[in-house]
């Protein structure tokens, strides 16, 4: 195990982690000191990173090692000329990293991939086959399936009114305000279905 000289550290880092009693320290011992001091925030960070990486079948140990490597990098990048206290710099940087992982995990693409599990096995196979057809074809098929599921949940009377509105013969019997009112009412009633 490689030993590191404490003299190479910034004074703020030495005082924050109480490293002044060491002359030389191994990387594993240094990591244990970091983890002991920051364990609550490191646990949160590992969970948020694991949620993002688990779709690539990452193991929790691998994710923890990535977190530790990032922690070393953050601490080593600190410069006394930043004119902010080391503790503030460290915690804010880690919070930013956690939020960044959380936002990556909750981005539209990941949510879309997760939403595929909402459908049954046959439809998942259907999606896998349609991947070859390109994104536009896939999104059209998804919209069609979403619309079919939506139509099953809609009130029968409202569905009849909608059919009348969209048929060319009966459209003239409905004013624009009535159509907009109906659409807004449907949006409000079924907003949980569409997720907005």
Q: Do 81 and 112 fall within a single domain?
A: no
Same domain, 146 and 134: yes
**In this structure, what are the phi and psi dihedrals at residue 132, rounded to the nearest 5 degrees?**
-70, -25
Transcribe 118-146 into DSSP letters: GS-HHHHHHHHHHGGG-HHHHHHHHHHHH
* Pair (67, 8) in one structural domain: yes
* Domain with 134 in it: 108-151
Taking residues 166-181, report their average pLDDT: 65
pLDDT one-digit tens code per residue, 19-37: 888 888 888 888 888 888 8
Q: Do residues 190 and 173 share a domain?
A: yes
Among 1-15, 52-66, 102-116, whose mean pLDDT is lowest?
102-116
Say yes or no: 88 and 72 in one domain: yes
Span 178-196, mean pLDDT?
Answer: 63
**Binning pLDDT at 50, 70 and 90, where does residue 195 land?**
very low
Tell me how far CA of residue 111 lies from CA of 105, 116, 118, 196, in angstroms: 8, 9, 11, 13
Report pLDDT for 61.
Answer: 67
What's the structural domain count of the chain? 3
Q: Select from 106, 134, 168 the last residue of a domain.
A: 106
pLDDT for the residue numbered 23: 84
Average pLDDT, the chain: 69
pLDDT beyond 70 at 85: yes
Residues 14 and 100 grouped into a single domain? yes
Whether the per-residue pLDDT at 3 is higher than 70: the answer is yes
CA atoms within 13 A on the CB side of 49: 24
- Claim to verify: residue 147 and residue 158 sit in the same structural domain: no
Higher pLDDT, 70 or 164: 70
Q: In this predicted structure, what is the pLDDT of residue 130?
A: 43
Give the C-alpha separation, 112 to 140, whole Å.
14
Confidence class for position 124, pLDDT limits 50, 70, 90 = very low
Instruction: Choose one of 106, 139, 168: the last residue of a domain.
Output: 106
Q: How confident is the model at residue 120 (pLDDT cuts 50, 70, 90)?
A: very low
Measured in whole angstroms, the distance separating CA 117 from the mean position of its chain's CA atoms is 17
Kindly report whether the global pTM for this prediction surpasses the value 0.95. no
Per-residue pLDDT at 119: 43
166 shares a domain with 125? no
């Amino acid at each position: 195990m490689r030993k590191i000289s404490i003299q190479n550290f910034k004074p703020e880092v030495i005082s924050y982690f109480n490293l002044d009693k060491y002359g030389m320290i191994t990387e594993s011992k240094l990591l244990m000191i970091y983890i002991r001091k920051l364990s609550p925030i490191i646990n949160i960070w590992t969970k948020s990173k694991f949620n993002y990486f688990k779709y690539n079948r990452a193991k929790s140990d691998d994710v923890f090692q990535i977190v530790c490597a990032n922690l070393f990098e953050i601490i080593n990048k600190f410069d006394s000329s930043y004119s902010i206290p080391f503790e503030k710099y460290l915690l804010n940087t880690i919070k930013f990293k956690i939020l960044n992982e959380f936002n990556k995990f909750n981005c539209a693409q990941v949510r879309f991939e997760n939403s595929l599990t909402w459908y049954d096995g046959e439809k998942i196979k259907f999606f896998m086959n349609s991947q070859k057809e390109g994104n536009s074809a896939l999104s059209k098929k998804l919209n069609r399936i979403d619309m079919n599921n939506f139509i099953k949940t809609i009130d029968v009377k409202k569905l009849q009114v909608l059919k009348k509105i969209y048929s060319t013969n009966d459209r003239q019997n409905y004013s624009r305000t009535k159509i907009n009112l109906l659409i807004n009412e449907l949006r409000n009633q079924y907003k949980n279905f569409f997720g907005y």
